[in-house]
């Protein structure tokens, strides 16, 4: 029961969960150990944001961790159990190739493609297979796919509440990014994604461009699917839009992302070809 297993704890929003699973998946493949996903403890007490696990929205199989492993997520209980059970807890992959015959509990954010580059094609294939049952979302996706030079623009709620200072993305970032894309590829159709679309319309005030504000009550996974269907991307300081851009299928895509002094999350890794 306890021999050579990996347990990854999911938490946070969609983007964070995708990073967590991808890093754990590469670890499990490297070590040839079974991967189990803890979809309970990271959300059981999330009373503020009320987030939920999202892997079930993708069309690939994975195995859920059994209930008797849930206590490993709590540090005080883990410190007790480690004296009786063959378990280990890691927040670094420095020794990813070391053999082990115990339970490894993975708890971290792993916000870099470096943690899953060895299985990049596997991750792209798995994460692009999204299960959507909403006909309205599919209809809107078809509109995006048919539009010329579609650009996903992502504005987080945080950026509407704070308009100055380090770690805040202001209107100028989006305006400059739009003008840059137009100068490079010509006329664009901008699709703006936010949990506050009407406030974003006032925040950006860029109606001289072809602006389409997504305000159809779509779920997070539906908006994610729409976003990744665009040709190009202007992303926020966000793992959500990072993944949508990374998964975008346009081989000639351009991705505009905020510079370090505009970001609150300095750990999120952006260095890749075509990203500016």
pLDDT score of 196: 84
The topology under which CATH files domain 5-128 is Rossmann fold (3.40.50)
Same fold, 5-128 and 135-262: yes
pLDDT digits (tens, 9 = 90+) for 176-191: 999 999 999 999 999 9
* Alpha-carbon span 55 to 212, nearest angstrom: 29
Q: Are 157 and 257 spatial neighbours (Cβ–Cβ below 8 Å)?
A: no
3-state secondary structure the chain: CCCCEEEEECCCCHHHHHHHHHHHHHHHHHHCCEEEEECCCCCCCCCCCCCCCCHHHECCCCEECCHHHHHHHCHHHHHHHCCCCCEEEECCCCCCCCCCCCEEEECCCCCCHHHCHHHHHHHHHHHHCECCCCHHHHHHHHHHHHCCCEEEEECCHHHHHCCCCCCCCCHHHHHHHHHHHHHHHCCCEEEEECCCHHHHHHHHCCCCCEEEECCCCCCHHHHHHHHHCCCEEECCCCHHHHHHHHHCCCCCCCEECCCHHHCCCCCCCCCCCCEC
User: Could you give the CA distance from residue 18 to residue 209 in angstroms, rounded to a whole number?
Assistant: 32
**Structural tokens at position 249:** 């299928």
Mean pLDDT of the chain: 84
Closest CA to 225 of 255, 197, 191: 191
**In angstroms, what is the C-alpha Rg of the chain?**
20
Work out the average pLDDT over 200-222.
87
What is the model's pLDDT at position 166?
45
Between 192 and 216, the more confident residue is 192
Summarised one tens digit per residue, pLDDT across range 54-82 is: 999 998 999 999 988 887 766 656 666 55
Task: Round to whole Å and give the CA distance between 75 and 127.
Answer: 31
Domain boundaries, the chain: 5-128, 135-262
Tokens of 37: 């996903």
Under the banding of pLDDT at 50, 70 and 90, the label for residue 31 is: confident
Spatial separation of the C-alpha atoms in residues 269 and 113, rounded to whole Å? 7
Fold held by 135-262: Rossmann fold (3.40.50)
Percent pLDDT > 90 in the chain is 52
Q: Is the dihedral of CA 37, 38, 39, 42 positive or negative?
A: negative
């Amino acid at each position: 029961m306890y021999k050579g297993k990996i347990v990854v704890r999911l938490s946070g929003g969609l983007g964070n969960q995708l990073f967590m699973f991808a890093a754990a998946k590469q670890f499990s493949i490297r070590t040839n150990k079974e991967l189990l996903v803890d979809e309970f403890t990271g959300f059981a007490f999330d009373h503020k944001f009320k987030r939920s696990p999202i892997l079930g929205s993708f069309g690939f199989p994975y195995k859920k961790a059994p209930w008797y492993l849930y206590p490993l997520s709590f540090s005080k209980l883990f410190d007790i159990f480690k004296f009786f059970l063959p378990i280990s807890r890691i927040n670094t992959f420095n020794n990813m190739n070391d053999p082990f015959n115990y339970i490894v509990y993975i708890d971290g954010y792993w916000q870099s493609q470096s943690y899953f580059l060895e299985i990049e094609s596997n991750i792209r294939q798995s994460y692009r297979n999204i299960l959507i049952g909403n006909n309205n979302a599919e209809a809107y996706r078809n509109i995006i796919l048919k539009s010329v030079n579609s650009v996903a623009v992502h504005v987080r709620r945080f950026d509407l509440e704070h308009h100055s200072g380090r770690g805040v993305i202001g209107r100028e970032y989006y305006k400059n990014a739009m003008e840059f894309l137009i100068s490079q590829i010509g006329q664009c159709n901008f699709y703006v994604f936010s949990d506050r679309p009407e406030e974003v319309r006032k925040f950006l005030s860029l109606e001289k461009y072809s602006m389409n504000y997504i305000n159809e009550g779509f779920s997070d996974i539906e908006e994610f699917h729409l976003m990744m269907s665009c040709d190009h991307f202007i992303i926020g300081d966000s793992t959500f839009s990072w993944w949508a851009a990374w998964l975008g299928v346009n081989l000639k895509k351009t991705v505009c992302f905020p510079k370090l002094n505009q970001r609150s999350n300095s750990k999120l890794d952006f260095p890749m070809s075509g990203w500016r």
